[in-house]
């Protein structure tokens, strides 16, 4: 109690003394002022380092003080930073404080001053600030040297995203300075005439070797030099991820983590971040040599709990993560070993393995995985050191793979890695009868039975099938059964059996034994072939088949078909269907579009006899016909024709033929009555006729126009469409009259032929009638007369020398003597109205006597006619005839003298023209002077039509241009003047 009373008294006295002291100090004002302020610089860190002392501190006293520091830049009045620094000050202590400038110190002069105050609890308010110390100037620029340009800060290390201030100091303000950041010009603010400052905000990481900033000094256009800096921008150090530790043997802890980005930089500016492990319970730490894992030695067995801190560190930043764990909860066991199998048989095996020993009473939980036949089974088992497990219900003759892994059973942390081994179970007898089917071909007196079977599945074969046994037993006639052993590679066998009933057993055999038998009974009766085939439509999924149930008991149904119906080895397939089913779907990948599949459905009686119930046929997908029929054109008339394609096979097409399309093109716009208009794929229009019956393979196209051009095209169609496009066949209908013409021409031809035959037969008569033989003048009676007159020079005119179309007309008009020589063409002869005169120049040089000729051949006839006074003129002086120079008087005399026949004389007074015309004259040597008109034999009848033409009507010879009808009357005197 006394103590408590004394204490306040002491306290009061102490306080009083302090107050007295304080008042003394404060009264002096100056004693606690900071003195001896010195400022040093660290250019690399851009920091000012201050050191000072406080005067007049009581000896061995400690005082809490606050120092206020002011920093100015360029000039003292430009205060850029003010801050307080609190610390406990001892007597005679030198105080240190640092300040980091964002601006490189070389860029500007800095000024620093400081003042202080006491904030010690022993000195309650009021507090007084000391006076400011004097300004201390910090000028680094002076020590730079004499270079023309400086850029700061040099080789600064910053973190990505930091703000950086860069400056340059140019010695000569006349120089032009351009600065570039990573090759791109940047513009700063001028701090003073020599210094410019650039603020780079949030600098990115560019490369490990740093980002470049340089300035180029130039005077005018002359480059004076370049100066630059490299700014080292580091990536931000990341916190390590997924940090964890575990042990496999209770001796070593293995710690791992994901380090994140590497923050190393070039020029050794910053190495990769370091990692340190610190364990707080033991107080130990370890510098890790790898960047993502570290091993920690467990030294004390007693320590169960660990508290690890992983510290990642680089020059700029430190990051740490922490984990706390119990060692026994972090056991990651080593792999099991010596995995083996014992007592392996067809369905069981014993698996054994070993694990590494850990601590005492350490229990493992092991997991076994068994892979086989595409399945996986999993089992768990707890063990101590040696593990074993009985694998049962295995498949015979199967390769298995078993693997095992283990974990701490009491505190599960992690499974070990797997350790595994393969083993194969032994074989067993096949467990199921093979699936057998047959095909029966009945031949006279025997059945050819082909047995087919499907290989047993691996599940049922229980090993490798070595052979099949086929046992055939005659049911009708007791005899020994036949055994056929077929190698395993065969899938069928052929048996030739008599027309008896047979029972066939088929078994599959492996090295252990035989499978149950598959039984089939072959009936003695031939298969019922009278079942009608029904068409069905398939789908992409397959064929849906249904049938009427077989009367009586059945054990099932079988549907069979060929996978390749077009081939000889058609690959018979079958499907077993249960006894209660009356429908099934056959689906297989082998069905192809456009292939017709034939299905047979059998019912299996209880006696295992198969009875054909139904036949189905169809396409999984119908296609358009692959080819078009070859069409023949028949019965072509002017109004119709018939198209026929009777040899076109509808069965071998990739779809059920539903009918035919007949396309007809003609010039007529309108289609025929039964046709309809259609547009072809090429856009052209035509007419189309549809035949709905696939067996109707002919079409009569009628109502056509004669002598017209038609084109047709016949194509079959299925449900999938028409046949391929092909060219149209061209047909031209014949002319309507041409047939009539034939009807007329043909009889005419026969008539002419008949006439010709008759003519031939009656040729003698016709000849005699139309052109009798010309009498031979040598045989004529006139010769005797001539001979009689003794005219040795007189010759008979030869017919071949005769000019048939020339006459000489001799005229003797009174008082004048003119000679004309006339020529008449054959035409003129036939047209007596026109007589052409052909004068010959030589002969008309002077007047001459007329000569009158007479064809003696026609003498008789001419005299008979009496129409013209023909005077027979004997040609007694042929040379003189050439010149025709005989005087008319002589001629007249000669005529009177020589021709003494009884012919009537015609006096010159009765007619002015007297001529005798005939074919020949003996002027063979004077042909040149004759007209060149064609010489033709005169018509037999024309001779009689010769007549005299009066001289006054004689026309001149025709010129090419003159008309035949013109008649020119010439006065001979005038003409030949």
Partner 1 sequence: MNWRQGQGHGADLRLPLPARLCLLTLLSPPLSSAAPISPAEPISQAYSLALYMQKNTSTLLQTYLRYQGSPFSDPGFSAPELQLSSLPPATAFFKTWHALDDGERLRLAQGAFLALTQHLQLVGDDQSDLNPGSPILLAQLRAARLRAQGLLGNMATIMTALGLPIPPEEDTLGLVAFGASAFERKCRGYVVTREYGHWTDRAVRDLALLKAKYPA
Place of tokens 């100066």: 227
Cβ atoms of 316 and 294 closer than 8 Å: no
Residue with smaller CB distance to partner 1, 265 or 714: 265
Instruction: Give CA angle at 320 (314, 325), nearest 5°.
Output: 145
Cα–Cα distance for residue pair 737/173, rounded to 1 Å: 122
Identified binder of partner 1 from the candidate list 62, 155, 304, 735, rule CB under 8 A: 155
Q: What is the closest distance, in whole angstroms, from the C-beta atom of residue 171 to partner 1 in the complex?
A: 15
Q: What is the closest distance, in whole angstroms, from the C-beta atom of residue 29 to partner 1 in the complex?
A: 48
Q: What is the closest distance, in whole angstroms, from the C-beta atom of residue 292 to partner 1 in the complex?
A: 21
Most distant CA pair in the chain: distance in Å?
A: 234
Residue with smaller CB distance to partner 1, 181 or 413: 181
Take residue 591 and report the two structure tokens written for it.
């069905």
| C-beta contacts of 791-800 below 8 A and 24+ residues apart | 791/874, 791/876, 793/876, 793/877, 793/878, 794/874, 794/875, 794/876, 795/875, 795/878, 795/922, 797/875, 797/918, 797/919, 797/920, 797/921, 797/922, 798/920, 799/774, 799/919, 799/920
Residue with smaller CB distance to partner 1, 130 or 234: 234
Identified binder of partner 1 from the candidate list 115, 154, 254, 608, rule CB under 8 A: 154
Q: What is the closest distance, in whole angstroms, from the C-beta atom of residue 267 to partner 1 in the complex?
A: 5
Closest by CA position to 357, among listed 517, 447, 248: 248
Residue with smaller CB distance to partner 1, 209 or 966: 209
Residue with smaller CB distance to partner 1, 228 or 804: 228
Q: What is the closest distance, in whole angstroms, from the C-beta atom of residue 139 to partner 1 in the complex?
A: 21
Distance of CA 943 to the CA centre of its chain: 97
Q: What is the closest distance, in whole angstroms, from the C-beta atom of residue 363 to partner 1 in the complex?
A: 52
Q: Where are the beta strands (DSSP E) in 882-935?
A: 913-914
80-99 binders of partner 1 (CB under 8 A): none
Cβ atoms of 300 and 315 closer than 8 Å: no
Q: What is the closest distance, in whole angstroms, from the C-beta atom of residue 265 to partner 1 in the complex?
A: 10
The enclosing H or E element of 770 equals: helix 763-770
Identified binder of partner 1 from the candidate list 151, 407, 818, 824, rule CB under 8 A: 151
Residue with smaller CB distance to partner 1, 218 or 244: 218
912-951 binders of partner 1 (CB under 8 A): none
Say if residue 153 is preceded by a cis peptide, omega within 30 of 0. Answer: yes
Query: What are the C-alpha distances in Å from 967 to residues 819, 824, 835, 836, 869?
Result: 20, 14, 9, 9, 25
Where does residue 65 rank: exposed (0-12), middle (13-18), buried (19+ CB within 10 A)? buried
Residue 306's contacts (CB-CB under 8 Å, 6 or more residues apart) are 245, 253, 279, 281, 324, 325, 326, 327
Residue with smaller CB distance to partner 1, 212 or 482: 212
Q: What is the closest distance, in whole angstroms, from the C-beta atom of residue 291 to partner 1 in the complex?
A: 17
Residue with smaller CB distance to partner 1, 200 or 554: 200
Beta strands 149-152 and 164-170, pairing class: antiparallel
- Contact range with partner 1 by CB under 8 A, out of 14-22, 175-183, 477-485, 702-710: 175-183
Cα–Cα distance for residue pair 365/405, rounded to 1 Å: 8
Identified binder of partner 1 from the candidate list 124, 266, 747, 937, rule CB under 8 A: 266
Q: What is the closest distance, in whole angstroms, from the C-beta atom of residue 216 to partner 1 in the complex?
A: 8
Cα–Cα distance for residue pair 862/948, rounded to 1 Å: 12
Cβ of 471: how many Cβ atoms within 10 Å? 16
Q: What is the closest distance, in whole angstroms, from the C-beta atom of residue 181 to partner 1 in the complex?
A: 9
Q: What is the closest distance, in whole angstroms, from the C-beta atom of residue 53 to partner 1 in the complex?
A: 33
Is 262 a binding residue for partner 1 by CB under 8 A? The answer is no
- Contact range with partner 1 by CB under 8 A, out of 263-271, 644-652, 721-729, 838-846: 263-271
Q: What is the closest distance, in whole angstroms, from the C-beta atom of residue 222 to partner 1 in the complex?
A: 9
Q: Where are the beta strands (DSSP E) in 563-684?
A: 572-577, 583-586, 596-605, 610-619, 632-634, 641-644, 659-666, 676-679
Q: What is the closest distance, in whole angstroms, from the C-beta atom of residue 179 to partner 1 in the complex?
A: 11
Q: Strands of 211-219's sheet, edge to edge?
A: 157-159, 222-234, 211-219, 176-181, 184-186
Cα–Cα distance for residue pair 398/395, rounded to 1 Å: 6
Identified binder of partner 1 from the candidate list 180, 315, 415, 467, rule CB under 8 A: 180
Cα–Cα distance for residue pair 373/456, rounded to 1 Å: 15
427-446 binders of partner 1 (CB under 8 A): none
Cα–Cα distance for residue pair 576/559, rounded to 1 Å: 7
Cα–Cα distance for residue pair 120/116, rounded to 1 Å: 12
Residue with smaller CB distance to partner 1, 213 or 331: 213
Identified binder of partner 1 from the candidate list 267, 412, 709, 743, rule CB under 8 A: 267
269-288 binders of partner 1 (CB under 8 A): 269
Residue with smaller CB distance to partner 1, 113 or 227: 227
364-423 binders of partner 1 (CB under 8 A): none
- 3-state SS assignment for residue 236: coil
Residue with smaller CB distance to partner 1, 211 or 824: 211
Is 157 a binding residue for partner 1 by CB under 8 A? The answer is no
Is 268 a binding residue for partner 1 by CB under 8 A? The answer is yes
Cα–Cα distance for residue pair 694/81, rounded to 1 Å: 109
Residue with smaller CB distance to partner 1, 209 or 539: 209
Residue with smaller CB distance to partner 1, 266 or 565: 266
Q: What is the closest distance, in whole angstroms, from the C-beta atom of residue 269 to partner 1 in the complex?
A: 8
State the number of binding residues for partner 1 (CB under 8 A). Answer: 26
Q: What is the closest distance, in whole angstroms, from the C-beta atom of residue 232 to partner 1 in the complex?
A: 8
Cβ atoms of 409 and 331 closer than 8 Å: no
Q: What is the closest distance, in whole angstroms, from the C-beta atom of residue 50 to partner 1 in the complex?
A: 26
Q: What is the closest distance, in whole angstroms, from the C-beta atom of residue 163 to partner 1 in the complex?
A: 21
277-336 binders of partner 1 (CB under 8 A): none
Identified binder of partner 1 from the candidate list 8, 126, 183, 815, rule CB under 8 A: 183
Residue with smaller CB distance to partner 1, 232 or 836: 232
Mask for 191-230, x = binds partner 1 (CB under 8 A): ----------------x-xxxx-x-x------xxxxxxxx
- 3-state SS assignment for residue 28: helix
Residue with smaller CB distance to partner 1, 214 or 371: 214
Cβ atoms of 510 and 462 closer than 8 Å: yes
Place of tokens 């400081």: 114
How many residues does this entry show for the chain? 977
Residue with smaller CB distance to partner 1, 209 or 380: 209
Closest by CA position to 498, among listed 558, 445, 563: 445
- Contact range with partner 1 by CB under 8 A, out of 121-129, 260-268, 597-605, 899-907: 260-268
Beta strands 610-619 and 533-537, pairing class: parallel
Residue with smaller CB distance to partner 1, 122 or 154: 154
Query: What are the C-alpha distances in Å from 103 to residues 69, 72, 74, 798, 856?
Result: 18, 12, 12, 157, 164
Give the DSSP letter of residue 823: B
Q: What is the closest distance, in whole angstroms, from the C-beta atom of residue 221 to partner 1 in the complex?
A: 14
Residue with smaller CB distance to partner 1, 218 or 877: 218
Q: Which residues are at the interface with partner 1 (CB under 8 A)?
A: 151, 154-155, 180, 182-183, 207, 209-212, 214, 216, 223-230, 232, 266-269
């Amino acid at each position: 109690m006394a103590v408590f009373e004394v204490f306040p008294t002491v306290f009061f006295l102490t306080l009083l003394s302090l107050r007295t002291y304080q008042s003394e100090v404060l009264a002096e004002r100056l004693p606690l002022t900071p003195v001896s302020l010195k400022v040093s610089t660290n250019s690399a860190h851009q920091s000012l380092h201050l050191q000072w002392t406080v005067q007049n501190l009581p000896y061995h006293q400690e005082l809490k003080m606050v120092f206020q520091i002011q920093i100015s830049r360029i000039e003292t009045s430009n205060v850029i930073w003010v801050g307080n620094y609190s610390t406990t000050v001892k007597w005679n202590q030198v105080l240190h404080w640092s300040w980091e400038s964002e601006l490189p110190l070389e860029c500007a002069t800095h000024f620093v001053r400081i003042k202080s105050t006491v904030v010690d609890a022993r000195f309650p308010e009021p507090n007084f600030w000391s006076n400011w110390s004097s300004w201390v100037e910090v000028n680094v620029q002076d020590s730079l040297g004499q270079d023309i340009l400086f850029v700061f800060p040099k080789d600064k290390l910053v973190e990505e995203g930091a703000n950086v201030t860069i400056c340059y100091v140019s010695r000569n303000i006349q120089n032009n300075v351009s600065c570039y950041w990573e090759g791109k010009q940047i513009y700063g603010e001028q701090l003073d005439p020599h210094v410019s400052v650039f603020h780079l905000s949030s600098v990115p990481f560019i490369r490990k070797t740093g980002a470049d900033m340089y300035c180029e000094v130039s005077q005018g256009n002359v480059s004076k030099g370049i100066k630059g800096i490299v700014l080292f921008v580091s990536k931000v150090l990341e916190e390590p991820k997924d940090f964890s530790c575990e042990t496999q043997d209770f001796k070593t802890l293995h710690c791992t983590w994901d380090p994140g980005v590497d923050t190393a930089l070039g020029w050794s500016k910053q190495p990769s971040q370091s990692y340190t492990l610190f364990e707080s319970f033991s107080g130990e730490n370890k510098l890790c040599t790898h960047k993502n894992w570290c091993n920690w030695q467990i030294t004390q067995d007693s320590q169960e709990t660990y508290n690890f801190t992983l510290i990642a560190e680089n020059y700029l930043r430190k990051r740490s993560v922490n984990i706390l764990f119990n060692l026994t909860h972090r056991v990651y066991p080593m792999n099991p070993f010596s995995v083996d199998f014992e007592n392996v048989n067809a369905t069981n095996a014993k698996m054994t393995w070993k694990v590494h020993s850990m601590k005492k009473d350490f229990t493992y939980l092991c997991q076994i995985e068994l892979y086989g036949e595409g399945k996986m089974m999993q089992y768990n088992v707890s063990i101590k050191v040696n593990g074993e497990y009985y694998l049962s219900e295995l498949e015979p003759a199967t390769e298995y793979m078993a693997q095992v892994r283990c974990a701490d059973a009491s505190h599960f942390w992690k499974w070990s890695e797997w350790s595994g081994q393969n083993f194969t179970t032994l074989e067993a007898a096949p467990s199921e009868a093979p699936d057998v089917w047959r095909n029966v071909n009945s031949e006279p007196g025997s059945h050819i039975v082909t047995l087919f079977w499907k290989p047993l599945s691996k599940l049922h074969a229980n090993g490798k099938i070595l052979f099949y046994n086929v046992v055939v037993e005659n049911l009708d006639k007791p005899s020994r059964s036949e055994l056929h052993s077929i190698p395993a590679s065969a899938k069928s066998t052929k048996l030739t059996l008599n027309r008896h009933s047979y029972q066939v057993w088929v078994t599959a055999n492996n090295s252990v034994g035989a499978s149950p038998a598959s039984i089939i009974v072959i009936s003695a009766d031939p298969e019922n072939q009278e079942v009608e085939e029904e068409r069905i439509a398939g789908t992409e999924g397959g064929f849906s088949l249904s049938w009427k149930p077989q009367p009586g008991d059945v054990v099932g149904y079988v549907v069979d078909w060929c996978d390749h119906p077009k081939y000889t080895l058609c690959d018979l397939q079958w499907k077993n269907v249960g006894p209660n089913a009356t429908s099934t779907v056959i689906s297989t990948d082998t069905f192809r579009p456009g292939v017709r599949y034939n299905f047979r459905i059998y019912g299996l009686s209880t006696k295992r006899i198969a009875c054909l119930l139904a036949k189905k046929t169809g396409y999984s997908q119908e296609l358009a016909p692959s080819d078009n029929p070859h069409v023949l054109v028949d019965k072509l008339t002017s109004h119709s024709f018939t198209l026929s394609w009777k040899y076109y096979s509808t069965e071998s097409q990739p779809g059920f033929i539903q009918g035919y399309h007949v396309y007809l093109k003609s010039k007529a716009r309108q289609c025929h009555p039964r046709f309809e208009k259609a547009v072809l794929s090429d856009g052209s229009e035509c007419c189309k006729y549809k035949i709905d019956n696939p067996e109707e393979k002919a079409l009569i196209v009628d109502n056509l126009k004669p002598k017209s051009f038609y084109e047709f095209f016949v194509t079959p169609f299925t449900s999938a469409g028409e046949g391929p496009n092909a060219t149209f066949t061209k047909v031209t209908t014949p002319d309507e009259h041409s047939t009539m013409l034939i009807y007329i021409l043909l009889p005419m031809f026969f008539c002419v032929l008949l006439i010709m035959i008759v003519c031939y037969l009656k040729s003698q008569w016709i000849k005699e009638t139309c052109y009798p033989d010309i009498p031979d003048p040598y045989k004529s009676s006139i010769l005797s007369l001539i001979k009689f007159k003794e005219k040795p020079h007189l010759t008979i005119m030869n017919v071949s020398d005769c000019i048939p179309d020339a006459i000489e007309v001799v005229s003797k008009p009174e008082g004048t003597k003119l000679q004309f020589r006339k020529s008449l063409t054959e035409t003129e002869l036939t047209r007596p109205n026109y007589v052409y005169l052909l004068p010959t120049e030589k002969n008309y040089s002077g007047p001459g006597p007329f000569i009158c000729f007479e064809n003696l051949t026609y003498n008789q006839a001419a005299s008979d006619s009496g129409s013209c006074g023909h005077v027979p003129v004997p040609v007694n002086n042929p040379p003189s005839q050439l010149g025709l120079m005989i005087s008319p008087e002589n001629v007249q005399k000669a005529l009177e003298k020589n021709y003494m026949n009884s012919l009537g004389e015609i006096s010159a007074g009765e007619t002015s023209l007297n001529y005798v015309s005939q074919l020949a004259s003996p002027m063979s040597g004077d042909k040149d002077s004759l007209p060149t008109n064609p010489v033709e034999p005169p018509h037999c009848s024309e001779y009689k039509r010769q007549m005299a033409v009066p001289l006054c009507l004689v026309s001149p010879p025709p010129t090419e241009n003159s008309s035949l009808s013109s008649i020119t009357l010439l006065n001979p005197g005038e003409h030949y003047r």
